[in-house]
Amino acid sequence: MLSIIIPCLNEERAIAEVADKFRVRIPMLRKHFGNVEILAVDDRSTDNSAQLLKQHSDVYITIVNETRAGYGGAIKIGLRRSIGKFIGIMDMDATYDPADFVTLKMKSQENDEVLLLGNRIHRDSALNGLRWVGNSLFKSMFRLALDSKIHDPSCGIRIFKRQWLEEHLTTLPDDLSFAFATSVMCAIQKKPFVQENVHYYHRIGESKLQEFRDGFRFLNVAWRLSRDTKARLHEKSL
Ligand SMILES: Nc1nc2c(ncn2[C@@H]2O[C@H](COP(=O)(O)OP(=O)(O)OP(=O)(O)O)[C@@H](O)[C@H]2O)c(=O)[nH]1
Ligand SMILES: [Mg+2]
């Protein structure tokens, strides 16, 4: 079973379109994953998001947070309420196509991968100029500093093996760097992963990402996780 967790903050303009995408894709998701549940975790949006999510209750299981939890915090809350062996995440902004959960699963052959990761850095992607440059820099950083072949470490559509994600939940951040941090964790631990090109469309509604502020946060997370993991490995070897 696949549990798809979608953090949501002030996305009233995209919620209906994302629900429509799911209505078309649910039969195919069921075929490949056995069953699927879609948990939308609203973080006390100040627009109509919570009401709209509930209007599309044929698609979404809606969770409304009591206090703001952040992007990563919302995923952690969704995880606790979900039951799937596989955990998918994506955005509530219509940039992704839920069919790509199947694209990622088809790419996985071994079954020992902890992460199935989308890649938005390709010709048909709507990734814009500054984001393209920033994400290409992350790709180089992964190759040079972490010796990893991960192409798009901050891509927002991905599937985790539940057990692996749960093992690291306390170490992972609650803010927008959560998904990126899981890529760092996978690279440091040299865990098996697969990656595949995914659709990436222009966003509906306002982005919550501030390129420079969040870019530096992402780098800080990479540095902190590398330092802590190396320290733990060193302790183990003593
Ligand atoms: N629950 C919750 N969701 C959040 C928060 N910040 C962002 N989100 C949601 O998390 C997803 C990712 O945020 P985005 O603004 O799309 O960030 P991004 O994908 O890096 O940037 P874009 O490429 O511009 O879409 C969206 O579905 C947001 O609504 C938050 O603090 N809490
Ligand atoms: Mg987005």
How many whole angstroms separate alpha carbon 96 and alpha carbon 33? 18
Rounded Cα–Cα distance for residues 91 and 109 (Å): 26
Report pLDDT digits (tens) over 83-93.
999 999 999 99
Indicate which atom in ligand 1 lies nearest the CA of residue 74: 1
Fill in the amino acid letter for 190.
K
| CA pseudo-torsion sign 144, 146, 150, 153 | negative
What pLDDT was estimated at residue 211? 87
Name residues contacting ligand 1 (CB within 6 A): 7-9, 11, 41, 43, 70-71, 74, 91-93, 95, 156, 176, 203, 207-209
Share of the chain above pLDDT 70, in %: 100
Minimal CA–CA distance to 159: which of 195, 124, 200?
Answer: 195
Asked whether the predicted pLDDT for residue 238 surpasses 80, the reply is no
Q: What is the pLDDT of residue 43?
A: 95
Helix (H) or strand (E) holding 230: helix 211-237
Alpha-carbon gap, residue 178 to 143, rounded angstroms: 20
> Average pLDDT in the 55-82 region?
97
- Three-class SS state of 73: helix
- According to the model, what pLDDT value does residue 236 have? 76
Å from CA of 175 to ligand 1 middle = 10
Instruction: At 75, give phi and psi (nearest 5°).
Output: -65, -40
Tell me: pLDDT of 34 over 90: yes
Q: Which residues contact 227 (CB under 8 A, 6 or more apart)?
A: none
Q: Where are the domains of the chain?
A: 2-237
Residue for token pair 């998918």: 88
Q: What is the distance of C-alpha 224 from the center of its chain?
A: 20
* 174 Cα: distance to centroid of ligand 1 (angstroms): 12
Q: Class of the 2-237 domain?
A: alpha beta
For the stretch 181-234, pLDDT in tens is 999 999 999 999 999 999 999 999 999 999 889 999 999 998 998 888 777 777
Q: List the structure tokens of 144.
A: 């040079």
201, amino acid identity: Y
Query: How many whole angstroms separate alpha carbon 124 and alpha carbon 214?
Result: 25
36-61 average pLDDT score: 98
Q: Which residue has the tokens 């290409």?
A: 136
Q: How far is the CA of 50 from the centre of ligand 1 (A)?
A: 15
Ligand 1 centroid – CA 171 distance (Å): 20
Q: How much is the pLDDT for 229?
A: 78
